[in-house]
Copies of this chain bind each other. A is one copy, B any other.
Amino acid sequence: MARERTARKREEHEVEFSRIVAFSDGVFSIAITLLVLELKLPQHLQSGEIWHALGEQREQFLAYAISFAVIARFWLVHHSFFSEVKAFDSRLIGLNMLYLGFLVLIPFSSQVLGEYGGHLPAVVVYSANLTAVVLVGQWMAWDARHAGLAKADAQTERESLVRSAFISGVFLLSIVVALFDASIAPYMWLALFFEGRGHVIERISRRSSSP
């Protein structure tokens, strides 16, 4: 394949490779930390109003918790994908940039969610943003594996595909649910991240690999 010839091996260009990873890590850590900026208490409150004002931020706290968990998990996936990357070319770097471009939007989507969590547009914006990250991430992984830049056994690859389809599916479903009641959607995502997702995915991907 033409691409393999122009790809640079990781071990021969360790400094350049680690700059890509370091740049990505920098973006991840800044994006996750900027989430705190959406939490703000108004100034000049009376003593008795402070608890109330804090209580009014509960949607923002929920959005913070969800988005922190989401970005943390994306970082883990990114982390484990890049640990199997053996070579890189400008296409992988470009897709990684596109990936980061959607990832950096999450603090904005999270602000929208925190402010308008019970309304359809917020659910759509947030779901669309996260689905974009998942799909571009899957595209990047698929592309790198098929160009011989990353090595993954068939089981890992299948799991990664099923996981992406599953997450995207939940987000699309949450948009449908939000058409009826937008305030339920965020809890669907929370469930996605904290309940036995792994087991479901493992079972599906094993079943799909059995003859």
Contacts and interface: CB of A to CB of B under 8 A. Distances in A.
A63 to B, nearest CB: 13
Interface in A73-115: 75-76, 79, 83, 90, 93, 97, 100-101, 104-105, 107-108, 111-112, 115
Given A19-B79, A83-B15, A121-B54, A65 B25 contact: no
Q: A34, A54, A104: which has the most chain B beta carbons within 10 Å? A: A104
Name the prevailing secondary structure of the A interface residues.
helix
Interface residues of A, number: 58
A189 interface: no
Contact of A125 (B33, B54, B105, B125): B54
Contact of A36 (B21, B25, B107): B107
A37 interface: yes
Given A33-B34, A45-B116, A101 B72 contact: yes
B122 A50 contact: yes
Contacts of A23: 25, 28-29, 75
A39 interface: yes
Contacts of A108: 36, 39-40
25 contacts: A15-B18, A15-B21, A16-B83, A19-B25, A23-B29, A25-B26, A26-B33, A27-B32, A27-B33, A30-B33, A33-B34, A34-B36, A36-B104, A36-B108, A37-B37, A39-B108, A41-B112, A41-B115, A47-B116, A47-B119, A50-B119, A54-B121, A72-B100, A72-B101, A76-B93
Interface of A: 13, 15-16, 18-23, 25-37, 39-41, 43, 45, 47, 50-51, 54, 64-65, 68-69, 72, 75-76, 79, 83, 90, 93, 97, 100-101, 104-105, 107-108, 111-112, 115-116, 119-122, 125
